[in-house]
Amino acid sequence: MANLRLMITLITVLMITKSSNGIKIDLPKSLNLTLSTDPSIISAASHDFGNITTVTPGGVICPSSTADISRLLQYAANGKSTFQVAARGQGHSLNGQASVSGGVIVNMTCITDVVVSKDKKYADVAAGTLWVDVLKKTAEKGVSPVSWTDYLHITVGGTLSNGGIGGQVFRNGPLVSNVLELDVITGKGEMLTCSRQLNPELFYGVLGGLGQFGIITRARIVLDHAPKRAKWFRMLYSDFTTFTKDQERLISMANDIGVDYLEGQIFLSNGVVDTSFFPPSDQSKVADLVKQHGIIYVLEVAKYYDDPNLPIISKVIDTLTKTLSYLPGFISMHDVAYFDFLNRVHVEENKLRSLGLWELPHPWLNLYVPKSRILDFHNGVVKDILLKQKSASGLALLYPTNRNKWDNRMSAMIPEIDEDVIYIIGLLQSATPKDLPEVESVNEKIIRFCKDSGIKIKQYLMHYTSKEDWIEHFGSKWDDFSKRKDLFDPKKLLSPGQDIF
């Protein structure tokens, strides 16, 4: 009889969930958490944007509050049934970084909110909120964040855990440099508020910390005036050195006469050349240029404004047309709403989705390259590797940024060099499953070339599988990074998909 009562008590206390892959996760009923093992939800959480890996979790939780996440992590850290936990936003990682085998996925998109302060200097944003929704909410009040990624349909928390880079970085820094305060739940389940003054060790650790020290649940984001329009330019170059000199000149200009956004693309004759930005009468000429030269470089800039009659717009246009050395006649300008400019990649996404191409594998390679070695990188990688591929599919981005816009106290890594300018490289290729090994081999060849040539690159959105590679990646920051792990997530429960610890 006593044994029967014990069995009834155990059944009452524990909610035992068995996932579709046979993995058990035991959650006490007192946690008041619903762990979903629905096959469709498990399947969605097993894949990410990269479409390269499949990692099956034991279950997925959709928290109704940050307290739900805290209780889950407290139980995982203190209970006998230890399991790992991964926070997942839009799953925009490339190699399963937001995954957890047999553990619990926390669906952060269940927690969304944007509250603009009365003085409109900042917004408190729930970590599961998409950047596009932050833009919509803040723009209603005439303000917006000052730095952006190229793609806005990703979550605030996920972006800040990596860094957040795009065409505004040279002016305002990466997204991690534009955060005033965070709410974080550590691997011990502690709910802590942190900033540069309050719990700074945690604050600097989680910004670019790849989810290793805690789950960001709220971020206080810097705001400024939201312009209404954007003058959007693209210019073509056939000479790489001229192209980079003009880019570097533009990022050194003062804000009042300079541009607000700057990136660069590379058109390769063995790839798809998108000429749609240019007038129909020039599109065949652009395509012919790429065939003739093999490589054409595209300088892309934008200037934000409110009133088209302001003299500053004329000054910027004069600067571009009179001081830059692009190919004569090959400049095109669009005038678009500020929102439409920032959300431009979503338009391309919809096109790719309609063609069934968005779901292809994405073996992307993102790098930071020192300015002093950018010509070596171009000659060894762009000319001797990418141009010699059988075919290239996707975008190749190359643009400079000012190194002083990064805060070295943060976990986010850039090359540890004494140079003022670094280049951001995005080799954003897609591949069919059949061609995937070839593209991955090309990426490995690029990394090998950089190492053999002594080019001190750092990867962004990287995925290493050995501790030695991670130690090399974090360089002088590794000791602090490792200590923070022991301090905030001693049982190493968080973000196992990064394969760091």
The two structure tokens encoding residue 466: 């050995």
Give the separation between CA 431 and CA 384, rounded to whole angstroms. Answer: 20
Domain ranges in the chain are: 2-109, 111-226+483-498, 229-460
Look up the CATH architecture of domain 229-460.
3-Layer(aba) Sandwich (3.40)
pLDDT tens-place string over residues 174-188: 999 999 999 999 999
pLDDT tens-place string over residues 65-123: 999 999 999 999 998 778 999 999 999 999 999 999 999 999 999 999 999 999 999 99
E strand or H helix at 459, and its extent?
strand 458-460
Give the separation between CA 223 and CA 221, rounded to whole angstroms. Answer: 6
Q: Are 326 and 301 in contact (CB under 8 A)?
A: no
Structure-token match 């599961």, residue found: 128
Cα 127 from chain centroid (whole Å): 14
Q: Is the pLDDT of residue 303 over 50?
A: yes
Range 111-226+483-498 has CATH code 3.30.465.10: yes
Is the pTM for the entire model greater than 0.85?
yes
Cα 186 from chain centroid (whole Å): 22
Coil, helix or strand at residue 493: coil
Annotated binding site for FAD: 87, 89, 91, 93, 97, 150, 155, 161, 165, 216, 460, 495, 498
Which of 45, 67, 84 has its CA nearest to residue 187? 84
Q: Are 130 and 64 in contact (CB under 8 A)?
A: no
pLDDT for 257 equals 75
Annotated binding site: 87, 89, 91, 93, 97, 150, 155, 161, 165, 216, 460, 495, 498
The domain made up of 2-109 has a fold known as: 3.30.43
Q: Over pLDDT 90: what percentage of the chain?
A: 88
Q: What is the DSSP letter of 405?
A: G
Active-site annotation, residues: 92, 150, 263
Longest CA–CA span in the chain (Å) reads 93
Give the separation between CA 88 and CA 105, rounded to whole angstroms. Answer: 7
Span 440-451, average pLDDT:
97
